[in-house]
Amino acid sequence: MTGKTDAHGKRIVGIGSALIDVLAQVSQDFLNDISDVKGGMTLVESAFIDDVISRLPVKPDIVPGGSACNTIIGIGRLGGNGSFVGQCGEDDFGALFEQGLLNSGVKPQLFKSKTPTGRVVSLITPDAQRSMFTYLGASAEMNPALITEQCFAGASVVMMEGYLLFNQELMMAALNGAKKAGARIALDLASFTVVEQSLDFLKENVLESIDILIANEDEAKAFTGFSDEAKALDTLAAHADIAVLKVGARGSYISHHGETVRVDPVKGNAPVDTTGAGDLWAAGFLYGLTQGYSMEKCGALASSCGYEVCQVTGASIPDDGWRRIKTRLV
């Protein structure tokens, strides 16, 4: 495991793809016409994105996105000390992305490129499931040589999105920089498709550096081979000091020092859209961890953040949602 900073250090740095989310509610038939894959994330070309947008039956919502970015914005909205490392284009979408970070109290560490800013079309079907189609754009050009210890200076935790596994050189540079900075390293497995396509690299080169491993049911099954929750959690826990298994509407489990904490879901309305649910869960959990909260309280805060983001379209919790989250902490 990596060397650790002071347990009371509160800075959290995220690294990942700087993307703009294009979100739309669509029918199952519309999704079927686009792709035979439901859920997860599929890498596509820019022309595919443009075609899907041109065919949308409704005007989409357009907001800053990307897995690690969503998490760090959530940390900023909770009042935490967050920073985001990524690369975007020198275009209007890039400016929108940077302003979104600043508006949420997050410090941008953005490299710029002549290539357009990456985009993700998230299609949300009536069952509230989202299927993501991603054009990485400028984010795919981030130079590993630029990702050094200085990017993570003063960080207690470095949050890495699982999508970095698609760029092995960049992932290794980020791991090395974070370790030299003395930070704990958190990895969210991001998507079962990412795990399936990167499993050997993940096991052979990445896991030995991970302190906090976060997965949902599909990702955990792809990684461990187990559908059984207890076996999946035990396998995850064998690779990290803290292991998280999220089980959707049934809550989540946290394994730490050989003990398992069951986290109940927040009871309330049915979800509108699950976009960002895992990202905001991680925001609440990591914020609580750096604040010195118990595992139970970290999980409760994470669950609250995950619930609130599912009450809206997209990964941006509105002000009244953040007020409810903070009220639940009292």
Closest to 52 measured CA to CA, from 28, 21, 30, 19: 30
4: pLDDT strictly greater than 50: no
- DSSP 8-state code for residue 207: G
Pairing of strands 106-113, 81-89: parallel
The two beta strands, 157-161 and 130-137, are unpaired
Residue 89 lies in a domain: yes
Tell me the pTM: 0.89
- Which of 7-11, 32-36, 234-238 is predicted least confidently? 7-11
| 272 lies in some domain | yes
- Supply the DSSP string of 127-178, one letter for each residue: TS-EEEEEEEEGGGG--GGG--GGGGTT-SEEEEEGGGGGSHHHHHHHHHHH
Give the closest residue to 70 by CA, choosing from 307, 308, 279.
279
Asked if the model's pLDDT at residue 179 lies above 80, the reply is yes
Q: How many domains does the chain have?
A: 1
Categorize the per-residue pLDDT at 3 as very low, low, confident or very high, splitting at 50, 70 and 90.
Answer: very low
Q: Is residue 90 part of a domain?
A: yes
Rounded CA separation 112/89 (Å): 5
- Tell me how many degrees the CA angle 294-298-302 measures, rounded to the nearest 5: 170
Is residue 5 predicted with pLDDT exceeding 90?
no
Q: For 295-300, what is the mean pLDDT?
A: 96
User: What range does the domain containing 201 cover?
Assistant: 11-19+64-118+137-329
Task: Judge whether 38 lies within some domain.
Answer: no
Residue 101 sits in a domain whose CATH number is 3.40.1190.20
* 212 in Cβ contact with 242 (< 8 Å): yes
CB 279 within 8 A of CB 188: yes
| Residue 255 within a domain | yes
**Is residue 141 one of the residues assigned to a domain?**
yes
**Is residue 302 in some structural domain?**
yes
- Is 162 domain-assigned? yes
pLDDT at 2: 35
- State the pLDDT at residue 40: 76
Residue 99: per-residue pLDDT: 94
| Confidence category of residue 7, pLDDT binned at 50, 70, 90 | very low
Closest Cα partner for 120 from 230, 208, 40?
A: 40
